Amino acid sequence: MENLQTIKQRFGIIGMSQGLNRAIEKALRVAVTDISVLVTGESGVGKENIPKIIHQNSHRKHAKYIAVNCGAIPEGTIDSELFGHEKGAFTGATATRNGYFEVADGGTIFLDEVGELPLSTQVRLLRVLETGEFLKVGSSKTQTTNVRIVAATNVNMRDAIQKNKFREDLFYRLSTVDIHLPPLRERKEDIPLLFRKFAVDFAQKYRMPTLRLDEHAQQLLIQYNWNGNIRQLRNVAEQVSVLEQDRLLTAASLRPYLPDMGSQLPALTTDKKEQGDFASEREILYKVLFDMKNDLNDLKKLTLELMNQDISEEEKEGLIEKLYGAENISKHEESNSLTVLNPSIDQAVPSQPLVQAQDSYSYAETIEAEEPLSLLDKEIEMIKKALERSRGRRKLAAEELGISERTLYRKIKQYDLNDEEDL
């Protein structure tokens, strides 16, 4: 039996993660037997490599190996494809046809996306697994076959059984040994290796210099979620190899190729995945709330200083102007009490006396502060400032705000910020 490194080189498998190594080692151990294997994992993780490893390291390696995508065959013809049919069995059956189980006798059949099989075909498959017998469509003559079945699926089989979409007895027959391939987000140490391999392959294919990653671009790749797994990573590597002129890839040039990258702001955890504009708007609201929280902290600090310290009128006015701005302060000399904002924002309460001396109290002037901005006003203000700092360049402003350029464009239209005087 071949060792792990030899197997990886032979089948073009890239990666050193423990989950990947464990899956390959399990495949090698089970290869010498004839028991059925179920390969599970998300779409795009490379499940098709496991049945090849099993077949090539078994005593059946000189016989046929047939891979069948069960999800790509129409329900009306799947039985004919797998088990064959007799001439005249149905309209269009002009000749007898041998199915995959008959052709692969003595070898291995890989049933990809086995969870997509119709229930009637599942009954036929269960009989093959239990007795090795099958019937061609339109025939009453029982035939036998000696095949090893390796199946794969990205469907949650337990849920499919609960919903009566997959037979429980067939599941247990297929999953005598279960081999799970981890998603790419659980193999973060393998991501740079895989990208480098794909970059070299596409450089040779398109006859161009090999793409390289700087440190920040590499970290961005590692942090990305990769819902499409290796298939998505390969697709991104090909796009970048063809479209980018600079062969040293930076995080800024890589980011547009990673959809829904978003910002690193804290987010509420939900059972359903949030995407698109809703997630972006939520992030902008978080920024607004964080700014308002900072303003409240400054306000509390100033209030405590005014209430607990014996300071001059000039120092007091300086502190207030520093927080609010001189244009927001209105003095009322005829009043003998100090009014400050309550931390709850919505109410104003009179302050306590500042200094007590000889049973008499001195009070500060009444100061009226401008009402805090609403969330909507705060959001508009943030967008305006971002556009000012980027000198009207929306792409840079969107990156600063942590939203997509499309979302920023929609908000500019929504808040009527197109005119130059608004910016």
CA dihedral 373, 376, 382, 387 (to 10 degrees): -130
pLDDT tens for the chain, 423 residues long, are 578 989 999 999 999 999 999 999 999 999 999 999 999 999 999 999 999 999 999 999 999 999 999 999 998 899 999 999 999 998 888 999 999 999 999 999 999 999 999 999 999 999 999 999 999 999 999 999 999 999 999 999 999 999 999 999 999 999 999 999 999 999 999 999 999 999 999 999 999 999 999 999 999 999 999 999 999 999 999 999 999 989 999 999 999 999 876 543 333 344 444 445 555 566 677 667 777 777 777 777 766 666 665 556 666 566 555 555 544 444 444 444 444 444 443 444 444 444 443 444 343 344 444 445 566 777 788 888 888 888 888 888 888 888 888 788 888 887 777 644 444
Q: Which residues contact 30 (CB under 8 A, 6 or more apart)?
A: 37, 54, 177, 179
- pTM: predicted TM-score of the whole model, two decimal places: 0.61
- Predicted confidence at residue 53, as pLDDT, reads 96
- As to burial, measured by CB atoms within 10 angstroms (0-12 exposed, 13-18 middle, 19+ buried), residue 323 is middle
Evaluate whether 391 touches 356 at the Cβ level (below 8 Å): no
Beta-bridge partners for 169: none
Biggest alpha carbon–alpha carbon distance for the chain: 116
- Domains of the chain are 4-182 (3.40.50.300), 185-257 (1.10.8.60), 296-368 (no CATH), 375-422 (1.10.10)
Beta-bridge partners for 62: none
Report the C-alpha gap between 110 and 46 in whole angstroms: 14
Evaluate whether 36 touches 151 at the Cβ level (below 8 Å): yes
- Predicted confidence at residue 334, as pLDDT, reads 42
Evaluate whether 252 touches 289 at the Cβ level (below 8 Å): no
Nearest to 141 by CA among 197, 102, 171, 168: 102
Evaluate whether 274 touches 354 at the Cβ level (below 8 Å): no
* CA 163 to chain CA centroid, nearest Å: 26
Residue position matching structure tokens 């149905």: 90
- Predicted confidence at residue 193, as pLDDT, reads 94
Report the C-alpha gap between 42 and 416 in whole angstroms: 44
Evaluate whether 108 touches 54 at the Cβ level (below 8 Å): yes
Report the C-alpha gap between 378 and 289 in whole angstroms: 9
Beta-bridge partners for 178: 38
* CA 334 to chain CA centroid, nearest Å: 62
- Predicted confidence at residue 305, as pLDDT, reads 65
Report the C-alpha gap between 291 and 401 in whole angstroms: 13
CA dihedral 396, 398, 403, 404 (to 10 degrees): -90
- Predicted confidence at residue 401, as pLDDT, reads 80
Cα angle, residue 96 at apex, residues 91 and 100 outer, rounded to 5°: 105
Cα angle, residue 250 at apex, residues 245 and 254 outer, rounded to 5°: 80
> From the CB of residue 221, how many other CB atoms can be counted at a distance below 10 Å?
22
Write out the DSSP string of 284-302. HHHHHHHHHHHHHHHHHHH
Evaluate whether 108 touches 101 at the Cβ level (below 8 Å): no
The helix (run of H) or strand (run of E) holding residue 118 is none
Tokens linked to 410? 């929609």
Terminal alpha carbon distance of the chain: 70
